[in-house]
Amino acid sequence: MKFFCSFLLGACLAAGALQAQESARPSAGKTDSNNGAAQSAATTAQDTPNNKEYKIGPQDVLRIDVWKEPEITRAVPVRPDGKITLPLLNDIQAAGLTPMELAQVIRDGLKKYINEPKVAVSVEEINSRRIYVTGAVTRPGAFALLPNMTVLQALTSAGGFTQFARIKNIYVLRMEGEKQLKLQFNYKEVISGKKSTDNIQLLAGDTIVVP
């Protein structure tokens, strides 16, 4: 009896040690999931309007924060001419600059009136980066250009096609300098995988025409 109890106790201890080792061992699936989430977060961070690459455009709405200066701190729209208006500084060119560059311009301008001004600029609304869908779609109009947005995604945003849409003859109009390009898009061949290369990433100002 004593031998059996000792044997049983040893088996339990061995099982417990094995379970502890398995718990401590990292799961490949969990590691991949965590890495994927981290990569996704990094991609999202790069795609946000307030990263170092984003260029402010007309009709964007900016948030100007000047530390301890509530009369200057405000949300301002970028006018069609690319400028914003702020107290003390009047008109400032904003379009074409990144938020950090514009913050530096405002900071330099305020130094005449404020000792060591602390300025932060962020983009509250992206209205300058738009694409357009027109023709035989359910909801034609202007749409915000999302990161890596494709023709198919834009057509989905427009609610799909109307009854008599000629989905084989869709095209994208794009300006390159003073030249207008016409890029063909055959919906049936794209979704079947025959011409997946036609499902291009859109650029700001592109117009999708559905005859």
pLDDT tens profile 21-42: 444 343 333 333 343 333 333 3
- 8 A C-beta contact, residue 183 and residue 207: no
> What pLDDT shows up at residue 202?
95
CA atoms within 13 A on the CB side of 35: 7
Q: Is 181 helix (H, G, I), strand (E, B) or coil?
A: strand
Domain boundary among 125, 148, 166: 125
- The pLDDT of residue 211 is above 60: yes
Question: What residues make up the domain containing 91?
Answer: 61-125
* 116 lies in the same domain as 137: no
Distance in angstroms (rounded) separating the CA atoms of residues 142 and 162: 18
> What pLDDT shows up at residue 49?
53
179 is a domain residue: yes
- 8 A C-beta contact, residue 138 and residue 159: yes
44 is a domain residue: no
90 is a domain residue: yes
100-156: pLDDT as tens digits? 999 999 999 999 999 999 999 999 988 888 999 999 999 999 998 887 899 999 999
pTM summary value: 0.57
Number of structural domains, the chain?
2
